[in-house]
């Protein structure tokens, strides 16, 4: 059992609670930095993929996890970021300029799209963003001179400070690039949650009416949340485009939007950890399935069979189990386990019990 004894006000705003926690994260950071030296190229690629998904997850987490606005259309912003980045690169801009600009452009477009969406909430917002995600496919095809349409585009190799970075040629450099972006975004996110803006996001999520009563400007806060969320998602999209190498209108389909939302739900809504844990699940599930399929195939003695749609089916099942039994996701489960150890003999089952309410309609006559 650990008791943190606070001796200064600084301890309240520090991102870590105690030195032990800080040291754990530093070890994780060191391990992640050293990963290219420990892993072979294949697993390094997978890890890069997981980090990119984690950035995208953080983007959606700002909006859904912390501001409470469910979006089923974030693949549209992934696409925007990806295309903006590549188009800027093709105009001859250096990567270090094009990449943040891509994020900025996506963020601004996100706000423009969000302004009408600010009046909606709940399912209506989810449906509007879903429609947007479906539309994005057609918009990319229609704006062919800019986006290459159905034929798609190829990501050129980029160079950062004179170092050539290419997904296939120099996977290590690419990993470090993605890792650097991940660290910057994560630190920014942690800081955001400590700032008045982050607090107002959470206030809006928990109750719009009460937040308004506390002097939070709802529309402005939501717009800000959309901006940050879309900007981060745009960065992830840019990296995703570089990682994939080639992409067209179907790369960022509605299914990606839905997967992204499911990912952060499995990971744990309302926590940065959740974005990472969800990304690990989504990144390694295909590997895990193909390995287990081979294993089962060997056990039965037959050849492995290709089952189309297996991944999304299994993913759906996992999600159902989580929504029913652990609505707070993997991170929520981990919190419970950790609390059990920290409070060892005193943990009680009801400590994390959520308050349930009876349904009362919002449709009033």
Using the rule CB under 8 A, is 122 a contact of another protein?
yes
Nearest Cα residue to 230 out of 257, 267, 206, 211: 257
**The one segment of 74-82, 229-237, 255-263, 342-350 that binds another protein by CB under 8 A:** 255-263
Q: In the complex, what is the shortest distance from the CB of residue 128 to another protein, in angstroms, rounded to a whole number?
A: 5
Using the rule CB under 8 A, is 309 a contact of another protein?
yes
The neighbouring-strand residues paired with 351 are none
Using the rule CB under 8 A, is 312 a contact of another protein?
yes
Pick the closer one to another protein by CB: 188 or 316: 316
Q: In the complex, what is the shortest distance from the CB of residue 359 to another protein, in angstroms, rounded to a whole number?
A: 4
Interface with another protein (CB under 8 A), residue from 34, 142, 180, 351: 142
Element (DSSP H or E) covering residue 164: strand 163-165
**The one segment of 50-58, 205-213, 291-299, 336-344 that binds another protein by CB under 8 A:** 205-213
Q: In the complex, what is the shortest distance from the CB of residue 193 to another protein, in angstroms, rounded to a whole number?
A: 20
Residue where the block lists tokens 């903006």: 84
Using the rule CB under 8 A, is 123 a contact of another protein?
yes
Pick the closer one to another protein by CB: 56 or 238: 56
**The one segment of 39-47, 112-120, 179-187, 293-301 that binds another protein by CB under 8 A:** 112-120
Q: In the complex, what is the shortest distance from the CB of residue 271 to another protein, in angstroms, rounded to a whole number?
A: 16
332: helix, strand or coil: helix
Cβ contact 339:351 at 8 Å: yes
Using the rule CB under 8 A, is 202 a contact of another protein?
no
Nearest Cα residue to 132 out of 159, 103, 110: 110
Query: Which burial class, exposed, middle or buried, applies to 47 when counting CB atoms under 10 A from its CB (0-12, 13-18, 19+)?
Result: buried
Interface with another protein (CB under 8 A), residue from 13, 37, 209, 299: 209
Using the rule CB under 8 A, is 288 a contact of another protein?
no
Q: Site size for another protein, by CB under 8 A? A: 56
Pick the closer one to another protein by CB: 59 or 241: 59
Using the rule CB under 8 A, is 258 a contact of another protein?
yes
Q: In the complex, what is the shortest distance from the CB of residue 188 to another protein, in angstroms, rounded to a whole number?
A: 25
The Cα 224–Cα 230 span in angstroms is 10
Query: Which burial class, exposed, middle or buried, applies to 362 when counting CB atoms under 10 A from its CB (0-12, 13-18, 19+)?
Result: exposed
Using the rule CB under 8 A, is 256 a contact of another protein?
no
CA angle 171, 173, 175 (to 5 degrees): 65
For residues 157, 161, 163, 165, the Cα torsion angle rounded to the nearest 10 degrees is: -30
Query: Which burial class, exposed, middle or buried, applies to 38 when counting CB atoms under 10 A from its CB (0-12, 13-18, 19+)?
Result: exposed
Pick the closer one to another protein by CB: 349 or 363: 363
Provide the 8-state DSSP code for 214.
Answer: T
Interface with another protein (CB under 8 A), residue from 28, 30, 151, 320: 320
196: helix, strand or coil: helix
- Return the axis-axis angle of helices 41-60 and 19-38, rounded to nearest 10°: 140
Nearest Cα residue to 109 out of 145, 74, 152: 74
Using the rule CB under 8 A, is 324 a contact of another protein?
yes
Using the rule CB under 8 A, is 131 a contact of another protein?
yes
Provide the 8-state DSSP code for 64.
Answer: I
Provide the 8-state DSSP code for 160.
Answer: E
- As a whole number of angstroms, the longest Cα–Cα distance in the chain is 67
Pick the closer one to another protein by CB: 23 or 207: 207
Q: In the complex, what is the shortest distance from the CB of residue 72 to another protein, in angstroms, rounded to a whole number?
A: 8
Pick the closer one to another protein by CB: 249 or 251: 249
Which residues form the interface with another protein (CB under 8 A)? 64, 68, 70, 116-117, 119-120, 122-124, 126-128, 130-132, 134-135, 138-139, 141-142, 207-210, 254, 258, 261-262, 265, 307-310, 312-317, 319-320, 323-324, 327, 356-365
């Amino acid at each position: 059992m650990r008791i943190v004894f606070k001796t200064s006000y600084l301890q309240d705003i520090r991102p870590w609670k105690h030195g032990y926690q800080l040291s754990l994260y530093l070890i994780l950071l060191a391990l992640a930095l050293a990963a290219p030296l420990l892993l072979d190229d294949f697993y390094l690629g997978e890890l890069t993929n997981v980090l990119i998904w984690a950035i995208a997850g953080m983007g959606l987490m700002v909006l859904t996890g912390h501001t409470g606005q469910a979006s089923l259309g974030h693949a549209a912003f992934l696409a925007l970021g990806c295309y903006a980045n590549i188009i800027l690169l093709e105009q001859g801009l250096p990567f270090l300029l094009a990449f943040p600009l891509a994020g900025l452009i996506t963020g601004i477009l996100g706000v423009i799209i969000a302004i009408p969406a600010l009046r909606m909430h709940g399912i209506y917002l989810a449906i509007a963003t879903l429609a947007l995600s479906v539309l994005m496919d057609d918009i990319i095809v229609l704006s062919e001179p800019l986006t290459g349409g159905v034929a798609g585009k190829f990501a050129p190799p980029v160079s950062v400070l004179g170092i050539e970075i290419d997904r296939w040629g120099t996977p290590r450099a690419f990993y470090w690039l993605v890792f650097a972006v991940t660290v910057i975004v994560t630190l920014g996110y942690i800081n955001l949650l400590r700032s008045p803006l982050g607090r107002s996001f959470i206030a809006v999520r928990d109750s719009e009416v009460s937040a308004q009563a506390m002097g939070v400007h709802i529309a402005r806060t939501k717009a800000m949340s959309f901006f940050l969320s879309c900007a981060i998602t745009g960065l992830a999209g840019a990296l995703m485009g570089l990682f994939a190498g080639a992409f067209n209108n179907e790369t960022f389909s509605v299914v990606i939007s839905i997967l992204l939302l499911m990912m952060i739900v499995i990971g744990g809504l309302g926590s940065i950890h959740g974005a990472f844990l969800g990304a690990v699940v989504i990144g390694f599930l295909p590997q895990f399935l193909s390995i287990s399929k081979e294993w089962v195939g060997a056990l039965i003695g037959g050849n492995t069979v290709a089952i189309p749609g297996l991944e999304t089916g299994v993913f759906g099942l996992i999600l159902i189990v989580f929504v029913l039994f652990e609505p707070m996701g993997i991170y929520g489960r981990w919190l419970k386990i950790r609390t059990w150890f920290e409070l060892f003999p005193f943990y009680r089952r009801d400590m994390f019990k959520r308050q349930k309410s009876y349904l009362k309609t919002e449709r009033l006559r």
